[in-house]
Structure 1
Amino acid sequence: MFQYSFMQNALVVSFFIAILCPSIGIFLVLRRYSMIGDALSHASLAGVAIGLLSGGSPVIGAFVFTSACGALIEFLRVYFKKFTDLLLTIVLALSVGIAITIISSGKLHANADSYLFGSVLTVSAFDMGAILVLSIVSVLVLVLLYNQLVYIAYDEEAARVVGVRVQLINYIFSILVASAISISIRVVGVLVLSSMIALPVATALQLRLGFRRTLLFSVLFSIVDILAGLVASYQLNVAPGGFTALVSVALLLLVMLGKRLFQIFRLQAQPRNRISGR
């Protein structure tokens, strides 16, 4: 299977996705912003359509447009403090309207459907280079801003008090989200991309570990999800995005079940330990 160049490209991209998405997703989940990630993932379809229409790279088009939408969300968040759900409606209306208008115009010389569901056949050498650059830059920025992002994730107001430039970092973080999304659309697809951002984090949170170990387990679960989805989708001849989402949900349910069984076993073991201790 991996003797084919397109599968090798998809494997490399999958590793980048598996590392970058949960690394950004953990901050979205802790800030209760996972639905913003979902809105931006759908917004990336408009960026793909713009990239295809202009004859450029869909990945770059998705990155630029999704970055603009992320900045728009941060800008509007000031004006709709009590109605944050309206932000998603505005961004979705704008992006989906642009995407449908361009796709239905008949002026595209490429098929945009593969970006909805994901396809391992669409990863080109140029896209690999763009994905590599975006991934390296994103990881470096995450490392440099790690402490500030942790402060903001737990308490944004307290972060302002200690001198963190919250608004600036929020704008930078929106660009990081756009980077993760634009990298992932090739393999995972727009419709289920948010699952790679949120579900590995949700799975790791079940373990109730500290922040850093939760982040590490999020990446580990993400690698399992996407590699299992990639291999199984090739064998079953289905879109990798949908099957990866199914694997993510299945792994989350397995961890939740294992956690529950462990709790039951521990409760049953406690009376026995007391009796033996007596």
Structure 2
Amino acid sequence: MTAILEKLTLYWAYPFVRYALVVGVLIALCSSLLGVTLVLKRFSFIGDGLSHVAFGAMAVAAVLQITNEMPLVMVITIISAVLLLRTGQNTKIKGDAAIAMISVGALAIGYLLMNLFSTSSNLSGDVCSTLFGSTSILMLTKSEVWLCAVLSVAVVAVFVLCYNKIFAVTFDENFAKAVGTKADLYNLLIAITVAVVIVLAMNLVGSLLISALVIFPALSAMRVYKNFRAVTICAAVLSVCCAALGILISILAGTPVGSTIVAVDIFAFLIFSGISRLGGIRT
């Protein structure tokens, strides 16, 4: 135990470790807040669909040799979130079908572009690191950390300020519309904030594992809590703890960051499921 603490103290002296922890915690917090709403609306796989869109956008940025790819990826992902919301409301194409259509299409086109216009000698490595996360979370610059912090604060502020409206839209959208709530506007706001979180999370866990950050903390909290506010707070605290622990384990053990965080989330879910079976906290 002493050796581990000494090793952590040694690593803490390096800025890249502090940057990774700050960004990881902020992304986990934002993901968990939105995750509760998405799970309850049975739209949890929107994160999966948008992450594949982000992968396609990154492929386009690579083909165009754009150095700072985040603005392009952000714009394309937000536009796709809006289109996904509109398409999902179409009576001919339901929400799950729309997600599958956009998800698979973006993933296929992105990989096709990377193959046709490859500018790298290690295409397989680039694709693998993008899909499952890479060491880029450990190579963040101070400006990237600040950008992530600003966007994360904006996401949290939107959720807190619009909490009551999001709560109403989450549980009974038709009733919310009946009492004058602009449900479509708040659904659009949720879709845009999810798109922002997805782009931020790409460097942390990769495009294929982003849904885990959204789904697992919310489902874990729902095992022991039934109140929306309690579930949201529990999911946020749990997600932040799992992200921080996952990053620290990854640094100490030399394991992939994204996969380690998801593994910790799964372990936490199993613990909360056990508490639920034993008749634990229910409020």
TM-score range relative to shorter protein: 0.7 to 0.9
Alpha-carbon deviation of 1:154? 0.1
Q: 2:155 aligns with which of 103, 128, 138?
A: 138
35, 42, 53: which one pairs with 2:45?
A: 35
Q: Does 2:133 match 1:92?
A: no
Assess, with a 3 A threshold, how the Cα gap between structure 1 residues 4 and 171 changes in structure 2: closer, same or farther: same
Which TM-score applies when normalising by structure 2?
0.86
The structural deviation recorded for 1:256 is 1.0
1:25 maps to which of 9, 28, 35: 35
Counterpart residue number, 2:129 = 114
Residue of structure 2 in register with 1:217 after alignment: 234
Aligned residues of 2:53 and 2:103 also touching (Cα < 8 A): yes
Residue 114 of structure 1 aligns with an amino acid whose one-letter code is S
Q: Show the counterpart of 1:156.
A: 173
1:243 to 226, 239, 260: 260
Q: Which has the larger radius of gyration?
A: 1
Equivalent in the alignment of 1:67: 78
- Give, in angstroms, the shift of residue 44 of structure 1: 1.6
Measured after TM superposition, the shift of residue 81 of structure 1 is 5.8
Q: How many Å separate the matches in 1 of 2:232 and 2:92? A: 29
Aligned residue for 1:164, secondary structure, equals coil
Which deviates more, 125-134 or 62-71?
125-134
Per the TM alignment, residue 52 of structure 1 is displaced from its structure 2 partner at its CA by 3.6
Q: Distance in 1 between matches of 2:151 and 2:62?
A: 19
Tell me the percent identity: 26
1:109-161 Cα offsets, whole Å, 9 max, x none, are 69454332223334233322321221122222222221111101001111110
Corresponding residue SS for 1:94: helix
Show the counterpart of 2:185: 168
**1:275 paired residue number:** none
Q: State the alpha-carbon separation in 2 of the partners of residues 71 and 94 from structure 1.
A: 16
How large is the RMSD of aligned CA atoms in angstroms?
2.0
**SS in structure 1 opposite 2:26?**
helix
Letter of the aligned partner of 1:157 in structure 2? N
Greater CA drift, 124-133 or 30-39: 124-133
Are the aligned partners of 1:117 and 1:240 in contact in 2 as well (CA < 8 Å)?
Answer: no
TM-score of the aligned structures, taking structure 1 as reference length: 0.87
CA distance in 1 between counterparts of 2:53 and 2:166 reads 24
Letter matched to residue 64 of structure 1: V
Partner of 2:19: 9
Deviations 1:25-62 (A, max 9, x none): 11101101111222112222122223344414333333
1:51–1:58: 8 Å Cα contact kept in structure 2? Answer: yes
Structure 1, unaligned runs of 5 or more: 264-278
For the residues of structure 2 that align with 1:114 and 1:82, how far apart are their CA atoms? 33
In structure 2, distance between residues paired with 1:209 and 1:12? 30
Question: 1:59–1:130: 8 Å Cα contact kept in structure 2?
Answer: no
1:46 maps to: 56
Count of matched residue pairs:
263
Cα distance in structure 1, aligned partners of 2:107 and 2:277: 41
C-alpha deviation, 1:257, in angstroms = 1.0
Q: Structure 1 residues 123 and 53, CA, compared in 2 at 3 Å: closer, same or farther?
A: farther
